[in-house]
Amino acid sequence: MKKINKNEIATFGENTRLVIGGREPDDYHGFVNPPVYHGSTVLAPTTRDLLDHTQRYAYGRRGTPTTDALEQALRAIDGSAGVVLCPSGLAAVSTALLSCLSAGDHLLMVDSAYGPTRHFCDGQLARFGIETTYYDPLIGEGIEALLRPNTKAVYLETPGSQSFEMQDVPLIAGIAHRHGATVLLDNTWATPLFFDAFGHGVDLMIQAGTKYIVGHSDAMFGAVSANRKAWPALKGFYGDAGLCAGPDDVYLAMRGLRTLGVRLRQHQESALRVAKWLAKRPEVLRVLHPALDGDPGHAIWKRDFKGSSGLFSIVLQPAPEAAVEAFLDGLKFFGLGYSWGGFESLAIPFDCSHYRTATTWNPGGPGVRLHIGLEDVEDLIADLDAGLARFRAARG
């Protein structure tokens, strides 16, 4: 295999970049994958080398060949100036926020954000003297009126990972930048393959790698990628906070990343088939999936996104909780569990009404979020069909 020049990688297609990014077989006796370096101490050959830091690696927390390989592989697909690897998606969220906010600053946070992200803002950021205001995900140019002289960051997540509202990222980013604020985006749902965050004005992109990057429900991982402007502060905070991701999880994330393209395209295709089937069912009031024609976020999705993943929600006809439980409890292929992005299908009931503060959540019936895994769609549809029959029977 001929050695590929680093600058040339950007000219290849995304699947090629997923496969070759960060790989240096010549450094590892020809083995396709880098070894998992478990290490804290790095030994120097002489006192001079130790004191003058002449070696590429100095200490485990500061990086290893394994972490370098994953950082380069992630950069090969997201086009960022730099990436930091975090022990979880939530650690990536907190790292990104703390890298660009200081005491006395104001943060604009989308009302549809991942629940623990809100909890971090309301508890920890407040403790550090950083004030958070929540805004409607559909605010559009209305964001301008919420910006204050001390608003240093605007945080987006699109679509919302339960309610699936689509945000106008370039519009909000443009306004935020005119006021000097940093733009952060949680891009876990689309990944860089389906949404080019930096091309749409984002400064700091967060991914809960636990979901689609790892892809096999076997590791916790997160990443923050930065453009040139946001990179120095991100790198500085990450180093000072002593953050690093465990070597085995870094390896599992890299292994998952190689197949992200094929997995995501299959999640997309299967989820669309299931979503379209559900949309025709009388038990289902609404399907919340931005890639469906009639969805309120469809126009923005079509304009800005290159694909959709395996996660979407449905709103059932009004029914007692017991009917929703009858639907969920008998499912054969849909596990009942949090998280998503693995090879397997999942289902959870959800209700955004207890935590929303800038908007009200009143969709007209109980919500169920589905993750469509890599099983055969016919089997998944048969499973849901039987579940909806149980729902009907329990609803009376």
Ligand X SMILES: *Cc1c(COP(=O)(O)O)cnc(C)c1O
Residues at the interface with ligand X (CB under 6 A)? 88-90, 93, 114, 157, 161, 186, 188, 208, 210-211, 220, 222, 339
CB of 390 vs ligand X, minimal distance in Å: 28
Which candidate, 119, 131, 95, 329, places its Cα nearest to that of 235? 95
Distance CA(15)–CA(367), nearest Å, equals: 35
Shortest Cβ 270–ligand X spacing (Å): 19
Q: Which residues are known catalytic residues?
A: 61, 114, 186, 211
- The span from the CA of 326 to the CA of 302, in Å, is 36
Smallest distance, ligand X to C-beta of residue 217, A: 11
Least gap, CB of 117 to ligand X (angstroms): 6
Q: Nearer to ligand X by C-beta: 248 or 321?
A: 248
Residue placing its CB nearer to ligand X in the complex, 147 or 206: 206
Of all residues in this chain, which one has the CB nearest to ligand X in the complex? 89
Q: How far is the CB of 282 from ligand X (least distance, A)?
A: 30
Helix residue ranges per DSSP H, 282-376:
298-304, 321-329
Q: Which residue type sits at 66? A: T
For residue 41, give the DSSP letter.
B
392 burial via Cβ count (<10 Å: 0-12, 13-18, 19+): middle
CB of 208 to ligand X, least distance (A): 3
100/110 with CB nearer ligand X: 110
CA-based R_g, the chain, Å: 22
Is the Cβ of residue 115 or residue 199 nearer to ligand X in the bound state? 115
Considering the complex, state which of residue 88 and residue 99 has its C-beta at the smaller distance from ligand X: 88
Q: CA 354 to CA 307: how far, in whole Å?
A: 31
Between CA 218 and CA 240 the distance in angstroms is 28
Inter-residue contact 79 to 10 (CB < 8 Å): yes
Task: Give the list of residues 6+ apart from residue 214 with CB closer than 8 angstroms, or none.
Answer: 220, 221, 249, 252, 253, 256, 341, 342
Closer by beta carbon to ligand X, 34 or else 160: 160
Which residues lie closer than 8 Å to 370 by C-beta, 6 or more apart? 271, 274, 311, 312, 313, 314, 334, 345, 346, 347
